[in-house]
Structure 1
Amino acid sequence: MEMPRVAAAVALALSLIFVNLAGQCSGQLQFGFYNGKCRDGNGFQRNVEDIVKQKAKAKFSTDTTIVAALLRMQFHDCFVNGCDASILLDVPNGEKTAPPNLSVRGYDFIEDIKTEIENTCPGVVSCADIIVMATRDAVVESDKKKLGTGWYPVQTGRRDGRVSSAQNVNLPSPSIPIPQAIAAFSSKKLSTIDMVYLLGGGHSVGVAHCGLFENRLYDFKNTGNPDPTMNTTLLKTLQTLCPRNSGSPNSVNLDQDPLKSSSVDKSFYEQIRLGNGILEVDQQLALDSNTRFSVARIAGSNDFSFQFGQAMIKLGAVDVKIGKDGEIRKKCAAVNSPDRSSDGKFFNLFG
């Protein structure tokens, strides 16, 4: 009976800390950037983050998988040309067409939020900011016990990028060695511990299809044998689910705790310590000397939500566009026309 009270108290304390951050800058982004900057046609002030929150809540009520979809979308966007919503653009040979992005989804949901905001205060809110806000709100909705511990603040003030090219998509693979993964994250100014939280938190929800891990089940690294690091019970289950060379479209939860596989929490870390990692990179997080101690600490911690939120804030600050480096799109899937009339309104409002 005491645990919910303790968790609620922690959540309240964290929320008070974050409230004090409102309006403060980190680099060129701000907490509370849109405060007072969105007014509808009647002159009434609207809360941008509340609009996104209500849309995310309604979406989650009918599709809980939106959490994993948005976490993946934000990661895939921010890791290529920075957090500029370039993944949303429908252009020839754009980022959407790159193999790692063919299974990314949630585009229509982001466009739906954009449409509502444009109908309220046109030319003010970027698609890049909508991705970050919607992702946070979906994470909050995944908090099944509704203790408020999944909440983290988001910085806003990004502008949308005008360039989207499949050639620029170079995302870490599911089998990337941990030292190479560390280097990839470091190139984005994200630390090793950031990587552990972002990979683990992002993989605490969602599924993986057989093709992403079948090599671990039968012929790991051309040895003719399964990956010896995989829990034998899990191995047998997956071999049944994904018969050898079958091209099975089946999928499996990345978090192997059936009670927690749709919540963004620390359960994933507990599972990979048991050898229940589905992707090779996930299992190696628990084994590699660079990350295994962090995984063990997180698995036994009480501050996962706070630390994951901090890592998401840092991810959201990767190579953002500001000022004339970007634009405020009228539609998230299309670059604005050359006159970009909304840009003038943006500059007048915010300098």
Structure 2
Amino acid sequence: MSSFCYFLFAIAGLLGLAGSANADLQMGFYAKSCPKAEKIVQDYVYKHIPNTPSLAAALIRLQFHDCFVRGCDASILLNFTSSTGNQTEKFAIPNLTIRGFGFIDGVKSLVEKECPGIVSCADIVTLVARDSIVATGGPSWKVPTGRRDGLISNGSETIGPIPAPFSNLSTLQTNFANQGLDLKDLVVLSGAHTIGFGHCSSFSNRLYNFTGVGDQDPSFDSEYVTNLKVNKCKFINDSTTRVEMDPGSVRTFDLSYYSLLLKRRGLFESDAALTTSLTTRALVTQLLQGSLENFYTEFAKSMEKMGQIGVLTGSSGEIRKNCAFVNK
């Protein structure tokens, strides 16, 4: 069988798995077993996110990184799994800047007090991501529940599936296609970069040493590069300074991220990559020419798709008592 045919079969298999899993997820899954569950999650989010709005970006990123490895099974939350004895996803290189684990633990503890052993960490991650964006004034979307928690978390499995900030369009397209997501999903979900921050270390090569000879990325707006070098990322190995991904609009879930892309001011190479093909550039332009409500609608659709990647349901997995550990 050719590699191309194998790729098509692999994608079809992923979509088939997603389709069968979708049937087991349902709106209001906990209506009888833990009727206050979703309200507890929402109240916790609405209490804390307005005080730290940047955490909303971190929490949706946490869900994104979780779903792209083994599906949306909360495997990113595990500190240790006896089944592998290996470094878990949480401590792997692509996840070293992930935040929000303590926030998820806080929600889980409240839900456990209300309904012990009923609500999965995977559902909490998904609900928290949605509610956090809503709390910032952003879009809402449907979150069917009924996910169960995975038993395996292997750090080595994060290398490859999770899109990196230096990924080109071809790599990004493959990353998303492997999860049953298309180019439109890629462009729309990248719009989450309208809130939150990026570390200098994730893009400083574009400022100081793009091709290894002390040059800057020619696709990066030179005025913006100078500003970043003078005021933010003052040396190439700065791993602590954070920069707004959407300067001047970091607290608002809007379309300005896409405006920056067309001005060659997308912070990461993966942002700039969205303007390197006629197809993705056209999608960016269409979003900008449409209404904010249209963007919210499209974002909701893509988030609903992403939240159903490779979910465990029925008797698969477990309902963890502590999100950081599999049950004994």
TM-score scaled to structure 2, two decimals? 0.87
Match of 1:298 in 2: 287
Match of 1:335 in 2: 326
2:173 corresponds to 1:182: yes
2:313 to 322, 328, 331: 322
Name segments (4+ residues, structure 1) moved above 6 Å: none
On the 8 A contact 2:77/2:101 being kept in 1, the answer is yes
Aligned-partner Cα distance in 2 for 1:75–1:246:
26
Match of 2:234 in 1: 243
Match of 1:268 in 2: 257
On the 8 A contact 1:218/1:225 being kept in 2, the answer is yes
Letter in 1 for 2:286: R
Aligned-partner Cα distance in 1 for 2:182–2:128:
24
Aligned-partner Cα distance in 2 for 1:156–1:209:
33
Letter in 2 for 1:274: K
Aligned-partner Cα distance in 1 for 2:243–2:130:
24
Aligned-partner Cα distance in 1 for 2:217–2:236:
17
On the 8 A contact 1:84/1:159 being kept in 2, the answer is yes
1:163 to 145, 152, 165: 152
Match of 1:222 in 2: 212
Match of 2:8 in 1: none
CA deviations over 1:128-182 (Å, ceiling 9, x no partner) = 0000001100000111xxxxx6121111110000101111112111111101211
Letter in 2 for 1:316: G
Q: Percent identity?
A: 38
Aligned-partner Cα distance in 1 for 2:254–2:177:
24
Aligned-partner Cα distance in 2 for 1:27–1:187:
21
Structure with the larger RCO, 1 or 2 (CA within 8 Å, 6+ apart): 2
CA deviations over 1:95-141 (Å, ceiling 9, x no partner) = 11101111111111111111111111112110000000011000001
Match of 1:31 in 2: 27
Deviation at 1:93, TM superposition (A): 0.9
Match of 1:278 in 2: 267
Consecutive unaligned residues of structure 1, counting only runs of 5 or more, are 1-24, 39-45, 144-148, 338-351
2:136 corresponds to 1:142: yes
2:125 corresponds to 1:125: no
CA RMSD between the two structures: 1.6
Aligned-partner Cα distance in 2 for 1:236–1:115:
46
CA deviations over 1:214-273 (Å, ceiling 9, x no partner) = 1111232235432122222211111112234453632211112x1x21223222111111
On the 8 A contact 1:67/1:139 being kept in 2, the answer is yes
On the 8 A contact 2:201/2:236 being kept in 1, the answer is no
Match of 2:188 in 1: 197
Deviation at 1:67, TM superposition (A): 0.4
**For 2:184, what is the secondary structure of its paired residue?**
helix
Letter in 2 for 1:117: V
Match of 1:69 in 2: 58
2:230 corresponds to 1:234: no
Letter in 2 for 1:227: D
Deviation at 1:311, TM superposition (A): 0.6
Letter in 2 for 1:287: T
Letter in 2 for 1:29: L
TM-score scaled to structure 1, two decimals? 0.81
Match of 1:341 in 2: none
CA deviations over 1:291-312 (Å, ceiling 9, x no partner) = 1100111122221111111111
2:200 corresponds to 1:206: no
Match of 1:340 in 2: none
Match of 1:100 in 2: 94
**For 1:30, what is the secondary structure of its paired residue?**
coil
Aligned-partner Cα distance in 1 for 2:235–2:48:
37
2:112 corresponds to 1:151: no
**For 2:312, what is the secondary structure of its paired residue?**
coil
Aligned-partner Cα distance in 2 for 1:219–1:167:
28
Match of 1:310 in 2: 301
Aligned-partner Cα distance in 1 for 2:155–2:203:
24
**Larger-gyration structure (1/2):** 1
Aligned-partner Cα distance in 2 for 1:223–1:288:
27
Match of 2:38 in 1: 49
Aligned-partner Cα distance in 2 for 1:246–1:308:
34
Q: How many residues of Structure 1 are paired with residues of Structure 2 in the alignment?
A: 298
Match of 2:12 in 1: none
Consecutive unaligned residues of structure 2, counting only runs of 5 or more, are 1-20, 81-85
